[in-house]
A = this chain, B = another copy of it.
Amino acid sequence: MEKFEVHILGCGSALPTTRHNATAQVIDLRDKLYMIDCGEGTQMQYRRSGLSFSRLNHIFISHLHGDHCFGLIGLISTFGLLGRTATLHIHAFPELETLLRPQLDFFCEGMPYVVEFHPFPHGCTDIIYEDRSVSVRAFPLSHRVPCCGFVFQEKPTAAHIKREMIDFYNISFSQINRIKNGEDYITEEGKVIPNSRLTTPADTPRKYVYCSDTQFNPNNVQYIRDADMLFHEATFAEDHLARAKQTHHSTARQAAEMARLSGAKRLLIGHYSARYTDEKILLNEAREVFANTFLAEEGRCFSL
Protein backbone atom coordinates (compact mmCIF):
# COMPACT_ATOMS: atom_id res chain seq x y z
CA MET A 1 0.00 0.00 0.00
CA GLU A 2 1.28 3.46 -0.81
CA LYS A 3 2.14 5.87 1.93
CA PHE A 4 -0.67 7.86 3.56
CA GLU A 5 0.51 9.28 6.86
CA VAL A 6 -0.63 12.06 9.15
CA HIS A 7 2.15 13.76 11.11
CA ILE A 8 1.11 15.76 14.15
CA LEU A 9 3.20 18.93 14.50
CA GLY A 10 0.93 20.56 17.05
CA CYS A 11 -2.29 19.50 18.79
CA GLY A 12 -2.83 22.08 21.51
CA SER A 13 -5.58 24.69 21.45
CA ALA A 14 -5.59 28.48 21.67
CA LEU A 15 -3.05 28.65 24.49
CA PRO A 16 0.19 26.88 23.63
CA THR A 17 1.72 25.18 26.65
CA THR A 18 5.03 23.54 27.38
CA ARG A 19 3.33 20.25 26.43
CA HIS A 20 1.49 21.15 23.24
CA ASN A 21 2.13 23.37 20.26
CA ALA A 22 -0.53 25.21 18.31
CA THR A 23 -2.31 23.26 15.59
CA ALA A 24 -0.49 21.94 12.53
CA GLN A 25 -0.48 18.62 10.69
CA VAL A 26 1.36 17.34 7.64
CA ILE A 27 -0.12 14.67 5.43
CA ASP A 28 2.41 12.57 3.57
CA LEU A 29 0.54 10.95 0.67
CA ARG A 30 2.56 9.08 -1.92
CA ASP A 31 5.52 11.27 -0.96
CA LYS A 32 3.77 14.57 -1.52
CA LEU A 33 3.22 16.68 1.58
CA TYR A 34 0.13 18.72 2.44
CA MET A 35 -0.07 20.89 5.53
CA ILE A 36 -3.27 21.55 7.45
CA ASP A 37 -3.20 24.64 9.65
CA CYS A 38 -0.05 26.37 10.73
CA GLY A 39 0.00 27.72 14.28
CA GLU A 40 2.95 29.56 15.80
CA GLY A 41 6.05 27.40 16.01
CA THR A 42 5.04 25.11 13.14
CA GLN A 43 8.33 25.63 11.29
CA MET A 44 10.28 24.45 14.35
CA GLN A 45 8.02 21.42 14.76
CA TYR A 46 8.32 20.73 11.05
CA ARG A 47 12.10 20.74 11.35
CA ARG A 48 11.90 18.38 14.30
CA SER A 49 9.73 15.99 12.29
CA GLY A 50 12.49 15.46 9.76
CA LEU A 51 10.00 15.83 6.90
CA SER A 52 11.28 17.45 3.72
CA PHE A 53 10.62 21.18 3.31
CA SER A 54 10.74 20.94 -0.47
CA ARG A 55 8.03 18.29 -0.82
CA LEU A 56 5.47 20.65 0.70
CA ASN A 57 3.60 22.69 -1.89
CA HIS A 58 0.10 23.11 -0.46
CA ILE A 59 -1.12 24.49 2.86
CA PHE A 60 -4.78 24.40 3.89
CA ILE A 61 -5.99 26.76 6.61
CA SER A 62 -9.23 25.87 8.38
CA HIS A 63 -10.02 29.27 9.89
CA LEU A 64 -8.54 32.56 10.93
CA HIS A 65 -7.83 32.10 14.59
CA GLY A 66 -4.22 32.72 15.54
CA ASP A 67 -3.53 29.21 16.83
CA HIS A 68 -4.24 27.92 13.32
CA CYS A 69 -2.30 30.44 11.21
CA PHE A 70 0.24 32.55 13.16
CA GLY A 71 3.06 30.26 12.01
CA LEU A 72 2.55 30.97 8.31
CA ILE A 73 4.65 34.11 8.03
CA GLY A 74 7.64 32.46 9.74
CA LEU A 75 7.37 29.31 7.64
CA ILE A 76 7.07 31.28 4.41
CA SER A 77 9.99 33.50 5.38
CA THR A 78 12.21 30.54 6.27
CA PHE A 79 11.45 28.81 2.96
CA GLY A 80 12.62 32.00 1.25
CA LEU A 81 15.87 32.11 3.25
CA LEU A 82 16.48 28.50 2.30
CA GLY A 83 16.28 29.41 -1.37
CA ARG A 84 12.97 27.79 -2.26
CA THR A 85 11.94 28.43 -5.87
CA ALA A 86 8.72 26.40 -6.21
CA THR A 87 5.45 28.24 -5.74
CA LEU A 88 3.78 27.65 -2.38
CA HIS A 89 0.00 27.39 -2.59
CA ILE A 90 -2.17 28.49 0.31
CA HIS A 91 -5.82 27.46 0.37
CA ALA A 92 -7.89 29.53 2.77
CA PHE A 93 -10.72 31.97 3.22
CA PRO A 94 -10.13 35.23 1.31
CA GLU A 95 -9.41 37.27 4.45
CA LEU A 96 -6.11 35.46 4.98
CA GLU A 97 -4.45 37.00 1.96
CA THR A 98 -5.67 40.45 2.97
CA LEU A 99 -4.08 39.98 6.38
CA LEU A 100 -0.85 38.36 5.25
CA ARG A 101 -0.09 40.33 2.09
CA PRO A 102 1.28 43.49 3.80
CA GLN A 103 3.58 41.33 5.94
CA LEU A 104 4.73 39.31 2.93
CA ASP A 105 5.47 42.51 1.03
CA PHE A 106 7.49 43.90 3.91
CA PHE A 107 9.27 40.89 5.41
CA CYS A 108 9.60 38.63 2.38
CA GLU A 109 10.50 41.19 -0.29
CA GLY A 110 12.80 39.71 -2.92
CA MET A 111 12.10 36.11 -1.94
CA PRO A 112 13.07 33.65 -4.69
CA TYR A 113 9.62 32.05 -4.84
CA VAL A 114 5.97 32.98 -5.09
CA VAL A 115 3.21 32.49 -2.51
CA GLU A 116 -0.07 31.98 -4.30
CA PHE A 117 -3.37 32.21 -2.47
CA HIS A 118 -6.35 30.12 -3.52
CA PRO A 119 -9.30 31.60 -1.69
CA PHE A 120 -12.53 29.70 -1.21
CA PRO A 121 -15.71 31.13 0.29
CA HIS A 122 -17.14 30.66 3.77
CA GLY A 123 -19.50 27.72 3.70
CA CYS A 124 -17.74 26.14 0.72
CA THR A 125 -18.53 22.47 0.07
CA ASP A 126 -16.49 22.12 -3.13
CA ILE A 127 -13.36 20.27 -4.01
CA ILE A 128 -10.85 23.08 -3.56
CA TYR A 129 -7.78 21.21 -4.81
CA GLU A 130 -6.87 18.03 -6.64
CA ASP A 131 -3.91 16.33 -8.21
CA ARG A 132 -3.14 12.77 -9.34
CA SER A 133 -2.99 11.53 -5.76
CA VAL A 134 -5.72 13.29 -3.88
CA SER A 135 -8.73 15.55 -3.93
CA VAL A 136 -9.38 17.96 -1.07
CA ARG A 137 -12.91 19.01 -0.28
CA ALA A 138 -13.81 21.76 2.16
CA PHE A 139 -16.98 21.66 4.23
CA PRO A 140 -18.38 23.99 6.86
CA LEU A 141 -17.85 23.42 10.57
CA SER A 142 -19.72 25.09 13.41
CA HIS A 143 -17.41 27.49 15.21
CA ARG A 144 -17.53 31.07 16.53
CA VAL A 145 -16.03 32.31 13.27
CA PRO A 146 -16.24 30.87 9.75
CA CYS A 147 -14.38 27.59 9.84
CA CYS A 148 -14.08 24.59 7.59
CA GLY A 149 -13.03 20.97 7.69
CA PHE A 150 -11.17 19.14 4.96
CA VAL A 151 -11.70 15.74 3.35
CA PHE A 152 -8.53 14.29 1.86
CA GLN A 153 -9.80 11.65 -0.57
CA GLU A 154 -7.09 9.51 -2.11
CA LYS A 155 -7.37 8.93 -5.85
CA PRO A 156 -7.74 5.30 -6.99
CA THR A 157 -4.49 3.55 -7.70
CA ALA A 158 -3.88 1.05 -10.51
CA ALA A 159 -4.34 -2.68 -9.89
CA HIS A 160 -1.34 -4.68 -8.70
CA ILE A 161 0.10 -6.89 -11.41
CA LYS A 162 1.18 -10.32 -10.21
CA ARG A 163 4.95 -10.64 -10.38
CA GLU A 164 4.82 -14.34 -11.25
CA MET A 165 2.53 -13.65 -14.24
CA ILE A 166 5.01 -11.13 -15.67
CA ASP A 167 7.66 -13.84 -15.50
CA PHE A 168 5.41 -16.64 -16.72
CA TYR A 169 4.24 -14.81 -19.86
CA ASN A 170 7.44 -12.78 -20.17
CA ILE A 171 5.33 -9.60 -20.33
CA SER A 172 7.21 -6.58 -21.67
CA PHE A 173 7.63 -3.41 -19.61
CA SER A 174 5.48 -1.44 -22.06
CA GLN A 175 2.54 -3.79 -21.52
CA ILE A 176 2.62 -3.67 -17.74
CA ASN A 177 0.96 -0.26 -17.32
CA ARG A 178 -1.84 -1.22 -19.73
CA ILE A 179 -2.56 -4.34 -17.71
CA LYS A 180 -2.43 -2.37 -14.45
CA ASN A 181 -5.10 -0.12 -15.93
CA GLY A 182 -7.40 -3.03 -16.69
CA GLU A 183 -6.54 -4.37 -20.12
CA ASP A 184 -6.24 -8.08 -20.89
CA TYR A 185 -2.94 -9.46 -22.19
CA ILE A 186 -2.61 -11.08 -25.61
CA THR A 187 0.30 -13.47 -25.99
CA GLU A 188 2.42 -13.67 -29.15
CA GLU A 189 0.37 -16.74 -30.08
CA GLY A 190 -2.80 -14.60 -29.88
CA LYS A 191 -4.12 -16.15 -26.69
CA VAL A 192 -6.13 -13.74 -24.51
CA ILE A 193 -5.21 -13.79 -20.82
CA PRO A 194 -8.00 -12.06 -18.90
CA ASN A 195 -6.94 -9.16 -16.71
CA SER A 196 -8.38 -10.82 -13.61
CA ARG A 197 -5.78 -13.63 -13.91
CA LEU A 198 -2.92 -11.13 -14.12
CA THR A 199 -3.76 -8.70 -11.34
CA THR A 200 -4.95 -8.35 -7.80
CA PRO A 201 -7.38 -5.47 -7.21
CA ALA A 202 -6.11 -1.99 -6.50
CA ASP A 203 -6.05 -0.88 -2.88
CA THR A 204 -9.24 0.83 -1.77
CA PRO A 205 -8.69 4.60 -1.86
CA ARG A 206 -8.40 6.03 1.64
CA LYS A 207 -10.02 9.05 3.21
CA TYR A 208 -8.72 11.36 5.93
CA VAL A 209 -11.10 13.90 7.42
CA TYR A 210 -10.02 16.89 9.49
CA CYS A 211 -12.50 18.63 11.83
CA SER A 212 -11.10 21.47 13.91
CA ASP A 213 -12.49 23.75 15.37
CA THR A 214 -16.16 22.92 15.80
CA GLN A 215 -18.96 22.34 18.22
CA PHE A 216 -20.86 19.07 18.06
CA ASN A 217 -23.11 19.16 15.01
CA PRO A 218 -24.58 15.89 13.67
CA ASN A 219 -25.51 17.71 10.45
CA ASN A 220 -21.86 17.60 9.52
CA VAL A 221 -21.94 13.80 9.31
CA GLN A 222 -22.95 14.16 5.65
CA TYR A 223 -19.50 15.53 4.84
CA ILE A 224 -17.35 13.15 6.80
CA ARG A 225 -18.83 9.72 6.18
CA ASP A 226 -16.67 6.60 6.16
CA ALA A 227 -13.32 8.15 6.93
CA ASP A 228 -10.43 5.72 7.34
CA MET A 229 -9.30 8.21 9.91
CA LEU A 230 -11.28 11.08 11.34
CA PHE A 231 -9.39 13.80 13.16
CA HIS A 232 -11.84 15.59 15.40
CA GLU A 233 -11.13 18.27 17.94
CA ALA A 234 -11.76 17.31 21.56
CA THR A 235 -10.94 20.50 23.40
CA PHE A 236 -12.76 19.53 26.58
CA ALA A 237 -14.00 16.57 28.57
CA GLU A 238 -17.71 16.26 29.41
CA ASP A 239 -17.16 18.00 32.75
CA HIS A 240 -16.71 21.19 30.72
CA LEU A 241 -19.65 20.62 28.37
CA ALA A 242 -21.06 24.08 29.12
CA ARG A 243 -17.70 25.68 28.34
CA ALA A 244 -17.51 23.65 25.12
CA LYS A 245 -20.91 24.95 24.02
CA GLN A 246 -20.04 28.51 24.98
CA THR A 247 -16.77 28.51 23.02
CA HIS A 248 -18.13 26.42 20.11
CA HIS A 249 -15.81 23.50 20.76
CA SER A 250 -16.42 19.77 21.28
CA THR A 251 -15.93 17.36 24.13
CA ALA A 252 -14.10 14.08 23.67
CA ARG A 253 -17.40 12.23 23.96
CA GLN A 254 -18.90 14.38 21.21
CA ALA A 255 -15.88 13.76 18.97
CA ALA A 256 -16.41 10.04 19.50
CA GLU A 257 -20.11 10.42 18.77
CA MET A 258 -19.21 12.02 15.42
CA ALA A 259 -16.88 9.12 14.64
CA ARG A 260 -19.65 6.62 15.48
CA LEU A 261 -22.36 8.45 13.54
CA SER A 262 -20.19 8.92 10.46
CA GLY A 263 -18.87 5.38 10.36
CA ALA A 264 -15.21 6.26 10.76
CA LYS A 265 -12.71 3.41 11.03
CA ARG A 266 -10.46 5.28 13.46
CA LEU A 267 -10.75 8.48 15.45
CA LEU A 268 -7.84 10.77 16.27
CA ILE A 269 -8.54 13.47 18.84
CA GLY A 270 -6.59 16.65 19.57
CA HIS A 271 -6.83 20.42 20.12
CA TYR A 272 -6.62 19.85 23.84
CA SER A 273 -7.46 22.63 26.25
CA ALA A 274 -4.42 23.77 28.24
CA ARG A 275 -6.24 22.78 31.44
CA TYR A 276 -5.56 19.06 30.89
CA THR A 277 -2.12 17.93 32.00
CA ASP A 278 -2.96 14.35 31.08
CA GLU A 279 -5.20 13.66 28.10
CA LYS A 280 -6.12 10.14 29.29
CA ILE A 281 -9.35 11.58 30.63
CA LEU A 282 -10.21 12.62 27.07
CA LEU A 283 -9.11 9.30 25.61
CA ASN A 284 -11.08 7.24 28.08
CA GLU A 285 -14.18 9.36 27.62
CA ALA A 286 -14.02 9.01 23.84
CA ARG A 287 -13.35 5.26 23.96
CA GLU A 288 -16.52 4.67 25.92
CA VAL A 289 -18.38 5.72 22.76
CA PHE A 290 -15.88 4.80 20.07
CA ALA A 291 -13.25 2.23 21.00
CA ASN A 292 -10.90 2.86 18.11
CA THR A 293 -9.81 6.31 19.35
CA PHE A 294 -6.23 7.58 19.53
CA LEU A 295 -4.61 10.65 21.04
CA ALA A 296 -2.78 13.08 18.77
CA GLU A 297 0.62 14.01 20.14
CA GLU A 298 3.43 16.17 18.79
CA GLY A 299 5.91 14.09 16.80
CA ARG A 300 3.55 11.14 16.32
CA CYS A 301 2.69 9.83 12.91
CA PHE A 302 -0.46 7.85 12.08
CA SER A 303 -0.68 5.63 9.00
CA LEU A 304 -3.96 5.19 7.20
Contact = CB atoms under 8 A, between A and B. Distances in A.
Contacts of A73: 66, 70
8 closest cross-chain pairs (CB), A and B: A40-B74, A41-B41, A66-B77, A70-B74, A66-B107, A16-B44, A18-B48, A18-B47
A54 interface: no
Contacts of A70: 73-74, 77
Considering residues A40, A43, A48, A106, which has the most beta carbons from chain B within 10 angstroms of its beta carbon? A40
A175 to B, nearest CB: 48
Contacts of A15: 78, 81-82
A106 B102 contact: no
Considering residues A70, A77, A82, which has the most beta carbons from chain B within 10 angstroms of its beta carbon? A70
Interface string A61-91: 0001110001101100110011000000000
Contacts of A44: 16, 18, 21, 40-41
Contacts of A102: 99, 102
A14 interface: yes
A52 interface: no
Contacts of A18: 44, 47-48
A217 interface: no
A145 to B, nearest CB: 10
A37 to B, nearest CB: 14
A116 interface: no
Considering residues A15, A44, A77, which has the most beta carbons from chain B within 10 angstroms of its beta carbon? A44
A245 B14 CA distance: 41
A95 interface: yes
A65 B107 CA distance: 7
A99 B106 contact: yes
Contacts of A17: 47
Contacts of A77: 66, 70
Nearest to A40: B74
Given A66-B73, A106-B64, A16 B81 contact: no
A44 B67 CA distance: 12
Nearest to A12: B44
A41 B24 CA distance: 14
28 contacts: A14-B81, A15-B81, A15-B82, A16-B43, A16-B44, A16-B47, A16-B74, A17-B47, A18-B44, A18-B47, A18-B48, A40-B40, A40-B41, A40-B43, A40-B44, A40-B74, A41-B41, A64-B107, A65-B107, A66-B74, A66-B77, A66-B107, A70-B74, A70-B77, A95-B106, A99-B102, A102-B102, A103-B103
A107 B77 CA distance: 21
A41 to B, nearest CB: 5
Interface string A103-114: 100110000000
Contacts of A14: 78, 81
Nearest to A13: B81
A46 to B, nearest CB: 10
